[in-house]
Amino acid sequence: MINYIMEDFGNCTIACRHQDCFNFLTADERNRLEKNKISINYRKGENIIKQGTSVNHILFLKSGLAKIYLEGSSKDLILKIVPPQHFIGLSSLRCKDDLYIYSSSVYIDSRVDLIDKEFFIKLIENNPKFALSVISIINEATAVSYRRVYSLTTKQMHGKVADLLICMSENIFLDEQFNVPISRKDFSELLGLSVESVVRVFKEFKDNGLVSIRGTQFKLLDIAGLKEISNYG
């Protein structure tokens, strides 16, 4: 039996990349997919999904960087950061009233494929391997959300921040050094912390030699140290 240790579950916002699911489509299905999607270039800051609007498309982020968030009456809650080669909107498929359950906007100039929802559903109905791949994507996203809930509700602020930095390095930017086009306010909404707390932890990590931070440029200097804080912070 596999023993899952909850302390190892971090505050990561991302599971596997989604591009592979298209490998299960036949040549004919791929041709029809091209006819049932449109590609749009979005500028930095533009909304690509509005919470509460009708689900007409499933989105696939070809390039760029996006966020998915819940709109509240007084503040927003960022659910995840979305790197390229990921779907946006899968969790709204077949939801009550066929409405998007969250909003999404892009952090930087991005290119997005808008796939017709009904065509996407037909692919799922007619291609079992593609359907299983989509189910796996949704299941992994659910598992990631459980881990985030665990991290956000049980860890102190240092552990939460360490989790997110590790996630960005290993799963979003795929490098120990990266440029984060994300405001400190967005960091706070991702972590459930105040902006002041995020800034304070960043300074402590920097002073302790764990990270180098220059504006939006981050470099993880001591990943082992950050992982220790993640596990016990």
Mean pLDDT to the nearest integer, 50-58: 94
Residue 120 lies in a domain: yes
Q: What is the C-alpha separation between 38 and 2, in angstroms, rounded?
A: 43
What 3 state SS string does 83-137 have?
CCCEEECHHHCCCHHHECCCEEEECCCEEEEEEEHHHHHHHHHHCHHHHHHHHHH
Token pair recorded at residue 22: 């298209």
Which of 119, 147, 175 is where one domain is finished?
A: 147
| pTM for the model | 0.86
Residue 54 shares a structural domain with residue 99 = yes
Count of structural domains within the chain: 2
Per-residue pLDDT at 1 exceeds 70: no
CATH number of the structural domain spanning residue 181: 1.10.10.10
Instruction: Out of 102-111, 138-147, 197-206, pick the least confident.
Output: 138-147
What residues make up the domain containing 216? 155-232
What pLDDT sits at residue 4? 42
Which of 93, 115, 147 is where one domain is finished?
A: 147
Q: pLDDT band for position 18 (50/70/90)?
A: low
Q: What are the pLDDT digits (tens) for 85-133?
A: 999 999 888 766 789 999 999 999 999 999 999 999 999 999 999 999 9
